[in-house]
Amino acid sequence: MTEQQQMDLRRDEVEAGAQTGLASPSVDVTSGRQNSLWGDAWRDLRRNPLFWIGAVLGLSFLLMALVPQLFARGADPRDCDLSNSNQKPSAEHWFGFDQQGCDYLANVVHGARNSLIIGLLAVAVVLVLGVVVGAIAGFYGRWLDGLLSRLTDIFYALPLILGALVVLRSGILGRGVVAVAIALAAFGWMTAMRLVRSQVIAVKSSDYVAAARAMGASNRRILVRHILPNAVAPVLVYTTITIGVLIAAEATLTFLGVGLQRPAISWGLQIENGQSLLRTAPHLVLFPSLVLTLTVMAFIMMGDALRDALDPRQRA
């Protein structure tokens, strides 16, 4: 029981006491502002080292994407000298040089931008599609739910990479950053939809929704104001983790040759390029793989921490 509740209880007792003629001690009702669900979650998050590792990594990669010059140690990724081809890492050039003799650190650092843009853009589309379709299916139910759920099942039947591969190879969208993001989102929104749908169905039957209806709230108001805010927490956790998964998927597509194309700078392209030289110049695969793994991990760790923080059963 919180302090405020105890105070209420005392107050209730005082009123009862006044009525029954019992002693009524004075009660000082102070304004003890307390935390909401998100406030509690934030308090939990702050204490979670997993969250801090993820957040620091994620922020560094974000900074890397915004101002790569800060991290590239003065080197230009396009300024190449073939005489440096495949040179090993050194004190001067921490990540060495690639086959074309370009500074590899600069290249890897500049790769962050595309990866993050694709990850965030794709996840935004996933979130919008998942929330809209899931909320409509869960709220209105009946035949509309049946239709949308079967549609989701059809998309589920297509693996993410295969679906995106087919779309990108068809050439309808081109091969740019936006095209890759849309292709990934188009085959990655289904889990978010299912999460939202099941949450909406669970929240829909709660008493406060009936109360809102009884007080004359419209369908739209009930859905947007009362149901969705109570239904989004698991979806936010899911999408945080999904950013990492989608960044990895982008690298996979690019590695397979259907994602981004040169002259774009991308970790997937760097890994693909380096794999044939794995024996002579292993650093060409090692460094982009390392940052890719760290980026994916950063988002998954933040998602995990967020899930723990939002789950009241995990709370001590």
Partner 1 sequence: MTRPDPTTSVLTGSAGTPVLEVDDLHVEFRTRSGVVNAVNGISYSLAEGQTLAILGESGSGKSVSAQAIMGILDSPPAVITGGGILFEGRDLLTQSPEEQRKVRGPGISMIFQDALSSLNPVYSVGYQIGEMFRAHRGTSKRDAKKHAVELMDRVRIPGAASRVDDFPHQFSGGMRQRVMIAMAIALDPRVLIADEPTTALDVTVQAQVMDLLKDLQRDTGMGLVLITHDLGVVNEVADDVAVMYAGRIVERGTVDDVFGNPAHPYTEGLMNSVPQVEAKGGRLQPIVGQPPNLAAIPSGCPFHPRCARRRLGADAAPGRECATDVPPLRLVVPGREAACHYSEEVLGV
What residues line the site for partner 1 (CB under 8 A)?
2, 4-5, 8-9, 11-13, 15-16, 19-20, 27, 29-31, 33-34, 36-37, 205-208, 210-218, 221, 225-226, 229-230
Peptide bond into 229 cis (omega under 30): no
Q: How far is the CB of 59 from partner 1 (least distance, A)?
A: 28
* Residue among 113, 160, 124, 42 nearest 295 (CA): 113
Q: How far is the CB of 222 from partner 1 (least distance, A)?
A: 10
Q: How far is the CB of 30 from partner 1 (least distance, A)?
A: 8
Residue 96 · residue 104 · CB < 8 Å? yes
Using alpha carbons only, how large is the chain's radius of gyration in Å?
26
For residues 267 and 38, give the distance between their C-alpha atoms in angstroms, rounded to a whole number.
35
Beta bridge partners of 80: 102
For residues 71 and 27, give the distance between their C-alpha atoms in angstroms, rounded to a whole number.
59
- Please, which residue, 67 or 211, has the CB nearer to partner 1? 211
Q: How far is the CB of 217 from partner 1 (least distance, A)?
A: 5
- Please, which residue, 5 or 69, has the CB nearer to partner 1? 5
For residues 170 and 304, give the distance between their C-alpha atoms in angstroms, rounded to a whole number.
36
- Please, which residue, 180 or 310, has the CB nearer to partner 1? 310
Q: How far is the CB of 212 from partner 1 (least distance, A)?
A: 7
3-state secondary structure of 172: coil
Residue 131 · residue 236 · CB < 8 Å? no
Q: How far is the CB of 44 from partner 1 (least distance, A)?
A: 16
- Please, which residue, 37 or 132, has the CB nearer to partner 1? 37
Burial 218-252 (b: 16+ CB within 10 A, else e): eeeebbeebbbebbbbbbbbbbbbbbbbbbbbbbb
Residue 280 · residue 86 · CB < 8 Å? yes
Q: How far is the CB of 126 from partner 1 (least distance, A)?
A: 23
- Please, which residue, 169 or 315, has the CB nearer to partner 1? 315
- Please, which residue, 154 or 215, has the CB nearer to partner 1? 215
Q: How far is the CB of 139 from partner 1 (least distance, A)?
A: 14
- Please, which residue, 218 or 275, has the CB nearer to partner 1? 218
- Please, which residue, 12 or 81, has the CB nearer to partner 1? 12
For residues 39 and 202, give the distance between their C-alpha atoms in angstroms, rounded to a whole number.
23
For residues 45 and 51, give the distance between their C-alpha atoms in angstroms, rounded to a whole number.
6
Peptide bond into 288 cis (omega under 30): no
Cα–chain-centroid distance for residue 13?
48
